Amino acid sequence: MTFKDFPYKRPDYSQLEADFRRLLQQFNQSSSGAVQERIIEDLNKLRQEYESMEDLARIRHSIDTTDPFYDQENNYFDETAPFYTGLIHEYYQTILASPYRPELEAKLGKQLFRLAALNQKTFSPEVIPDLQTENKLASEYTKLKASARIRFAGGEYNLAQMAPFLEAKERTTRQAAQEAFTGFFREKEAEFDRIYDELVKVRDRIAKKLGFADFIELGYARLGRSDYNPSMVAGYRQQVLTSLVPLTVKLRQRQASRLGLSALKYYDEPLAFLSGNAVPKGDVHWKLAQAHRMYQELSPETGVFFSFMVEKELLDLAAKAGKAGGGYCAYISKYQAPFIFANFNGTSGDVDTLTHEAGHAFQVYSTKEWTIPEYHWPTAEACEIHSMSMEFLTWPWMKLFFQEDELKFKFAHLTSALLFVPYGVTVDEFQHWVYAHPEASPEERKKVWRHLETKYLPDRDYADNDLLARGGYWYRQGHIYTDPFYYIDYTLAQTCAFQFWIKAGRDREAAWADYLRLCQAGGSLSFLELVALANLQNPFTEGTIAALLPPLVAWLDGVDDRQW
């Protein structure tokens, strides 16, 4: 079957609940660890069916948010998912209390029980109505962004489709495109503020009902962070501020010089070169064909993986009206099928997104034989190592996509990776402030965002754009709404991905062996255990970022970017 033929059937939640509780009762009455292990297998089969149907519904909804059937199904899972979360909570509670826990840990691994213990902090039946509200608000944000219809240059575009205009060589076009793009958010400002304000308040309410002082600790527990905490993240952000921000200021100055400007305005930032950014040389189908060849040549493992993706039509890549924004990788466990969702728009971001999401997809495909669903994916920051490192490990094949502009692309790609990290920690510090001050007004939040931009992105100049100058840029960052505290994960992973870039330059085979070992471990270890497994330096250790920068800077300095 190809993806379009994967059958969808709405789960009967009441039947699932009855079957689940029956198995939990049998688990508690079991007389051996071996029997309990078999019951866990049966429970995981029930979980696989429900979660696969949810994934199918949510993927198909995001492909077309206007489809009434899958809109209704998405709403169904918004309603039932909190009850399902309660069942998983009971399951974790049950296995933690097992008298055969040492035996189960030896067979199933300690990480399952770490995650189970964290989960105990994150749920009680009392918060189910609040979780339903949180889900509905997150879906409302996704649909609001997907509703954008921006009239520009004689056409009508969604947010993703505006990207080529934002990178236009003509400065007046870039400025006009940014104003049109931001105009959508300014027009919907009250709605974006209301949705986020309600999200902050409901998350704060959930946290306090669960016994937390605020949502911050709950947010960390939800993400399964078992070996680091907010103070360690704050220390990491300080490393970025001290070691990386001064370099990014120089990189922006270098960009301004290339563009023949004394200083950049915000609408200049997306254009890396006066001659235009490197773009892939063909359409969506052509790019997919180049990717297929690339993964056939990269390794035997990636060859098998990507052929499966193509043959099963597990990629939806083109931007179109009604499609949700962004890009992601999902996993439909019933069919052992990763799925890549993207919004190609003809820019170099198409290739970045494809290699990034293929990193996620390859990792979860590498763990498809795991029978424990918790081990299909690791925690989020470890997941992003696979994706961001894949972007670099595929560098030898970038000529397939960019041809004579290969070096131009690589220079811009590495530069943008460095520039991204201070932005990523801005998003993180903003969320820490927001959830420490849930009573703050939308205007106060915007002021704090703008202050943090001046701290981590000191060269950003919003000219006379009112919304952005008031601190409204963050509306476009979906993670802030839908996945609180997730965003620092990208920067931690970028720190690891830079290490893979360095290792691949010195010994490509060794770098690939480390990467493959990391992918095959899935979620069976914690973040810092996976970092050690892949022979990577801990991002939280003081001096890690500073030690990474010299080889990256040396490579960039070895390129004459004035030629473009």
Of 374, 357, 284, residue with least CA distance to 48: 374
Return d(Cα 159, Cα 149) in angstroms, integer. 8
Going by pLDDT thresholds of 50, 70 and 90, the confidence category of residue 230 is very high
**429-482 pLDDT tens trace:** 999 999 999 999 999 999 999 999 999 999 999 999 999 999 999 999 999 999
List C-alpha distances in Å: 210 to 264, 377, 405. Answer: 47, 26, 54
Asked if residues 221 and 92 have their Cβ atoms less than 8 Å apart, the reply is no
What is the residue-averaged pLDDT of the chain?
97
Return d(Cα 198, Cα 23) in angstroms, integer. 38
**Strand, coil or helix: 239:** helix
Residue 110 confidence (pLDDT): 96
In this structure, the chain runs to a length of 564
pTM for this model (two decimals): 0.93
Backbone torsions φ then ψ of 156, nearest 5 degrees: -125, 130
**How remote is the C-alpha of 511 from its chain's centroid?**
23
Backbone torsions φ then ψ of 321, nearest 5 degrees: -60, 140
- Alpha-carbon dihedral 285, 287, 291, 297, rounded to 10 degrees: 110
Q: Using the 8-state DSSP alphabet, how is residue 243 labeled?
A: I
- Sequence-distant (6+) residues with CB within 8 A of 538 are 528, 531, 532, 544
Note the CATH number of domain 226-279+378-564: 1.10.1370.30
Measured from the Cβ of residue 68, the count of other Cβ atoms closer than 10 Å reads: 8
Going by pLDDT thresholds of 50, 70 and 90, the confidence category of residue 325 is confident
**474-521 pLDDT tens trace:** 999 999 999 999 999 999 999 999 999 999 999 999 999 999 999 999
**Strand, coil or helix: 424:** helix
Asked if residues 175 and 184 have their Cβ atoms less than 8 Å apart, the reply is no
Q: Average pLDDT for residues 267-286, to the nearest whole number?
A: 96
